[in-house]
Protein backbone atom coordinates (compact mmCIF):
# COMPACT_ATOMS: atom_id res chain seq x y z
CA UNK A 1 0.00 0.00 0.00
CA UNK A 2 1.12 3.59 -0.67
CA UNK A 3 0.31 6.88 1.12
CA UNK A 4 -2.15 7.71 -1.69
CA UNK A 5 -4.14 4.57 -0.83
CA UNK A 6 -4.97 6.14 2.54
CA UNK A 7 -5.97 9.51 1.09
CA UNK A 8 -2.57 11.10 1.79
CA UNK A 9 -0.63 12.99 -0.79
CA UNK A 10 3.07 13.69 -0.95
CA UNK A 11 4.37 17.07 -2.02
CA UNK A 12 6.13 17.02 -5.40
CA UNK A 13 9.87 16.44 -5.08
CA UNK A 14 11.82 19.24 -6.69
CA UNK A 15 15.28 17.69 -6.66
CA UNK A 16 15.00 14.03 -7.60
CA UNK A 17 18.15 12.14 -8.50
CA UNK A 18 18.28 9.28 -10.98
CA UNK A 19 18.86 6.74 -8.21
CA UNK A 20 16.03 7.98 -5.95
CA UNK A 21 13.57 5.35 -7.22
CA UNK A 22 15.87 2.34 -6.95
CA UNK A 23 14.10 -0.41 -5.01
CA UNK A 24 10.66 1.20 -5.45
CA UNK A 25 7.72 -0.20 -7.38
CA UNK A 26 8.94 1.10 -10.75
CA UNK A 27 12.08 -1.03 -10.60
CA UNK A 28 12.27 -4.06 -12.87
CA UNK A 29 11.83 -7.26 -10.89
CA UNK A 30 12.27 -10.77 -12.20
CA UNK A 31 8.91 -11.84 -13.68
CA UNK A 32 7.04 -14.64 -11.93
CA UNK A 33 6.58 -17.67 -14.18
CA UNK A 34 6.64 -21.47 -14.23
CA UNK A 35 9.59 -23.33 -15.71
CA UNK A 36 8.99 -26.79 -17.14
CA UNK A 37 12.46 -28.06 -18.00
CA UNK A 38 15.85 -29.05 -16.64
CA UNK A 39 19.06 -27.37 -17.78
CA UNK A 40 22.58 -27.70 -16.35
CA UNK A 41 26.07 -26.41 -17.10
CA UNK A 42 29.41 -27.62 -15.73
CA UNK A 43 32.90 -26.20 -16.13
CA UNK A 44 35.70 -28.63 -17.00
CA UNK A 45 39.45 -28.55 -17.49
CA UNK A 46 39.24 -27.85 -21.22
CA UNK A 47 35.86 -26.21 -21.56
CA UNK A 48 32.22 -26.29 -20.50
CA UNK A 49 29.52 -28.96 -20.81
CA UNK A 50 25.83 -28.05 -20.93
CA UNK A 51 22.86 -30.41 -20.89
CA UNK A 52 19.08 -30.10 -21.13
CA UNK A 53 16.06 -32.36 -21.44
CA UNK A 54 14.06 -32.38 -24.67
CA UNK A 55 10.46 -32.15 -23.45
CA UNK A 56 8.30 -29.08 -23.99
CA UNK A 57 5.21 -29.28 -21.81
CA UNK A 58 2.09 -27.22 -21.21
CA UNK A 59 2.02 -26.51 -17.50
CA UNK A 60 3.85 -29.77 -16.83
CA UNK A 61 0.65 -31.71 -17.61
CA UNK A 62 0.79 -32.26 -21.37
CA UNK A 63 3.84 -32.95 -23.54
CA UNK A 64 3.61 -30.63 -26.51
CA UNK A 65 6.97 -31.54 -28.09
CA UNK A 66 9.37 -34.42 -27.49
CA UNK A 67 12.31 -33.02 -29.44
CA UNK A 68 12.68 -29.49 -28.12
CA UNK A 69 16.19 -28.16 -28.64
CA UNK A 70 16.87 -26.01 -25.56
CA UNK A 71 20.55 -25.27 -26.13
CA UNK A 72 21.74 -22.98 -28.93
CA UNK A 73 25.08 -21.58 -29.99
CA UNK A 74 25.15 -17.79 -29.55
CA UNK A 75 28.89 -17.11 -30.00
CA UNK A 76 31.78 -18.99 -31.62
CA UNK A 77 32.63 -20.44 -28.19
CA UNK A 78 29.45 -20.03 -26.14
CA UNK A 79 25.99 -21.58 -25.85
CA UNK A 80 22.72 -20.61 -24.22
CA UNK A 81 20.33 -22.99 -22.44
CA UNK A 82 16.77 -21.77 -21.97
CA UNK A 83 14.29 -22.13 -19.14
CA UNK A 84 11.00 -20.25 -19.21
CA UNK A 85 8.83 -18.92 -22.02
CA UNK A 86 9.95 -20.15 -25.43
CA UNK A 87 9.12 -17.09 -27.54
CA UNK A 88 11.06 -14.52 -25.48
CA UNK A 89 13.93 -17.00 -25.14
CA UNK A 90 14.15 -17.40 -28.92
CA UNK A 91 14.28 -13.62 -29.30
CA UNK A 92 17.14 -13.44 -26.77
CA UNK A 93 19.08 -16.13 -28.65
CA UNK A 94 18.73 -14.27 -31.96
CA UNK A 95 19.62 -10.92 -30.41
CA UNK A 96 22.64 -12.30 -28.57
CA UNK A 97 23.95 -13.92 -31.74
CA UNK A 98 23.56 -10.63 -33.58
CA UNK A 99 25.33 -8.66 -30.84
CA UNK A 100 28.25 -11.11 -30.75
CA UNK A 101 28.56 -11.08 -34.53
CA UNK A 102 28.42 -7.29 -34.70
CA UNK A 103 31.06 -6.95 -31.98
CA UNK A 104 33.42 -9.31 -33.79
CA UNK A 105 32.94 -7.60 -37.17
CA UNK A 106 33.66 -4.18 -35.68
CA UNK A 107 36.61 -5.13 -33.45
CA UNK A 108 38.03 -8.07 -35.37
CA UNK A 109 37.96 -10.23 -32.23
CA UNK A 110 35.27 -12.25 -30.44
CA UNK A 111 33.55 -10.95 -27.32
CA UNK A 112 34.95 -12.13 -24.01
CA UNK A 113 32.63 -14.23 -21.89
CA UNK A 114 32.34 -11.37 -19.40
CA UNK A 115 31.05 -9.14 -22.21
CA UNK A 116 28.72 -11.85 -23.55
CA UNK A 117 27.26 -12.45 -20.08
CA UNK A 118 26.62 -8.76 -19.43
CA UNK A 119 24.99 -8.37 -22.85
CA UNK A 120 22.81 -11.41 -22.15
CA UNK A 121 21.86 -9.98 -18.76
CA UNK A 122 20.58 -6.80 -20.41
CA UNK A 123 18.67 -8.77 -23.05
CA UNK A 124 16.79 -11.00 -20.57
CA UNK A 125 15.91 -8.18 -18.19
CA UNK A 126 12.14 -8.05 -17.71
CA UNK A 127 11.50 -11.30 -19.61
CA UNK A 128 9.94 -14.51 -18.23
CA UNK A 129 13.12 -16.54 -18.73
CA UNK A 130 15.86 -17.95 -16.48
CA UNK A 131 18.61 -19.20 -18.80
CA UNK A 132 22.15 -20.45 -18.29
CA UNK A 133 25.06 -19.21 -20.40
CA UNK A 134 28.22 -21.25 -20.81
CA UNK A 135 31.35 -20.54 -22.80
CA UNK A 136 35.10 -20.45 -23.15
CA UNK A 137 37.54 -17.58 -23.64
CA UNK A 138 41.23 -16.94 -22.99
CA UNK A 139 40.61 -17.18 -19.24
CA UNK A 140 39.04 -20.65 -19.44
CA UNK A 141 35.51 -21.99 -19.06
CA UNK A 142 32.67 -19.92 -17.61
CA UNK A 143 29.10 -20.61 -16.47
CA UNK A 144 26.56 -17.86 -15.74
CA UNK A 145 23.06 -17.97 -14.31
CA UNK A 146 20.71 -15.21 -15.54
CA UNK A 147 17.15 -14.16 -14.75
CA UNK A 148 14.51 -11.64 -15.74
CA UNK A 149 15.62 -9.27 -13.02
CA UNK A 150 18.87 -8.70 -14.92
CA UNK A 151 21.17 -10.56 -12.54
CA UNK A 152 24.28 -12.31 -13.87
CA UNK A 153 25.83 -14.84 -11.48
CA UNK A 154 29.04 -16.70 -12.31
CA UNK A 155 29.61 -20.17 -10.87
CA UNK A 156 31.53 -23.38 -11.55
CA UNK A 157 28.28 -25.21 -12.27
CA UNK A 158 24.58 -24.39 -12.38
CA UNK A 159 21.13 -25.90 -12.87
CA UNK A 160 17.78 -24.37 -13.74
CA UNK A 161 14.17 -25.17 -14.46
CA UNK A 162 11.56 -27.22 -12.66
CA UNK A 163 13.97 -30.14 -12.21
CA UNK A 164 16.80 -28.04 -10.78
CA UNK A 165 16.55 -29.35 -7.22
CA UNK A 166 17.12 -32.94 -8.28
CA UNK A 167 19.82 -31.86 -10.75
CA UNK A 168 21.68 -29.88 -8.09
CA UNK A 169 21.64 -32.91 -5.82
CA UNK A 170 23.54 -34.88 -8.47
CA UNK A 171 25.91 -32.03 -9.34
CA UNK A 172 26.81 -31.43 -5.69
CA UNK A 173 27.92 -35.04 -5.44
CA UNK A 174 29.59 -35.51 -8.83
CA UNK A 175 31.12 -32.15 -9.74
CA UNK A 176 34.93 -32.07 -9.59
CA UNK A 177 36.86 -28.85 -10.28
CA UNK A 178 39.11 -29.25 -13.31
CA UNK A 179 37.50 -32.53 -14.38
CA UNK A 180 38.05 -33.92 -17.87
CA UNK A 181 35.37 -33.16 -20.44
CA UNK A 182 34.21 -36.77 -20.46
CA UNK A 183 33.69 -36.76 -16.69
CA UNK A 184 31.92 -33.40 -16.80
CA UNK A 185 29.65 -34.74 -19.54
CA UNK A 186 28.78 -37.79 -17.45
CA UNK A 187 27.91 -35.57 -14.48
CA UNK A 188 25.76 -33.19 -16.56
CA UNK A 189 23.85 -35.99 -18.28
CA UNK A 190 23.34 -37.82 -14.95
CA UNK A 191 21.92 -34.63 -13.42
CA UNK A 192 19.37 -34.19 -16.21
CA UNK A 193 18.52 -37.90 -16.27
CA UNK A 194 17.84 -37.87 -12.52
CA UNK A 195 15.60 -34.81 -12.86
CA UNK A 196 13.67 -36.49 -15.68
CA UNK A 197 12.90 -39.41 -13.36
CA UNK A 198 11.13 -37.17 -10.83
CA UNK A 199 10.05 -34.02 -12.68
CA UNK A 200 6.99 -34.55 -14.90
CA UNK A 201 7.86 -31.51 -17.02
CA UNK A 202 11.30 -32.90 -17.99
CA UNK A 203 12.13 -35.90 -20.14
CA UNK A 204 12.38 -37.39 -23.66
CA UNK A 205 16.16 -37.57 -23.82
CA UNK A 206 19.03 -35.18 -23.26
CA UNK A 207 20.75 -32.57 -25.42
CA UNK A 208 24.45 -32.10 -24.64
CA UNK A 209 26.63 -29.17 -25.71
CA UNK A 210 30.42 -29.43 -25.46
CA UNK A 211 32.16 -26.06 -25.63
CA UNK A 212 35.92 -25.80 -26.16
CA UNK A 213 38.43 -23.53 -27.90
CA UNK A 214 37.52 -25.36 -31.11
CA UNK A 215 33.88 -24.29 -30.94
CA UNK A 216 30.47 -25.57 -29.89
CA UNK A 217 29.35 -29.14 -30.50
CA UNK A 218 25.71 -30.02 -29.78
CA UNK A 219 24.56 -33.61 -29.56
CA UNK A 220 21.10 -35.09 -28.98
CA UNK A 221 21.09 -38.17 -26.75
CA UNK A 222 18.04 -40.42 -26.50
CA UNK A 223 16.68 -42.12 -23.39
CA UNK A 224 19.11 -45.02 -23.84
CA UNK A 225 22.01 -42.56 -23.64
CA UNK A 226 23.08 -43.10 -27.24
CA UNK A 227 24.14 -40.29 -29.54
CA UNK A 228 21.53 -39.78 -32.25
CA UNK A 229 22.53 -36.53 -33.93
CA UNK A 230 25.33 -34.00 -33.96
CA UNK A 231 25.27 -30.46 -35.28
CA UNK A 232 27.02 -27.15 -34.86
CA UNK A 233 30.42 -28.88 -34.83
CA UNK A 234 32.49 -26.02 -36.15
CA UNK A 235 32.43 -22.64 -34.50
CA UNK A 236 31.05 -20.90 -37.58
CA UNK A 237 28.04 -23.24 -37.89
CA UNK A 238 24.55 -22.78 -36.50
CA UNK A 239 23.60 -25.07 -33.65
CA UNK A 240 19.86 -24.99 -34.36
CA UNK A 241 17.01 -22.86 -33.14
CA UNK A 242 15.39 -23.24 -29.76
CA UNK A 243 12.29 -25.37 -30.20
Radius of gyration of the chain (CA): 19
Q: Quick one: which H or E segment has residue 191?
A: helix 181-198
Distance CA 86, CA 184 (A): 27
* Residues near 33 by beta carbon (within 8 Å), at least 6 away in sequence: 84, 85, 128, 148
Q: With CA atoms as reference, report the closest residue to 72 among 216, 226, 189.
A: 216
From the list 35, 37, 119, 185, the catalytic residue is: 37
Distance CA 30, CA 13 (A): 28
Q: With CA atoms as reference, report the closest residue to 128 among 86, 167, 185, 70.
A: 86
Q: Is-catalytic flag, 212?
A: no
Q: Tell me the catalytic residues.
A: 37
Amino acid sequence: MTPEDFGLREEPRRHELSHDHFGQSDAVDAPMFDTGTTIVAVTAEDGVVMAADQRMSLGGRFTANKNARKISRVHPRAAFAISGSVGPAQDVVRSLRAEASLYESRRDEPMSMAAVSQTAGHLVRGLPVAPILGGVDDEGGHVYELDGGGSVMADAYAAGGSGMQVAYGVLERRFEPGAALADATDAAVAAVDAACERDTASGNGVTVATITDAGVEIEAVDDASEATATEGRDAAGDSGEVA
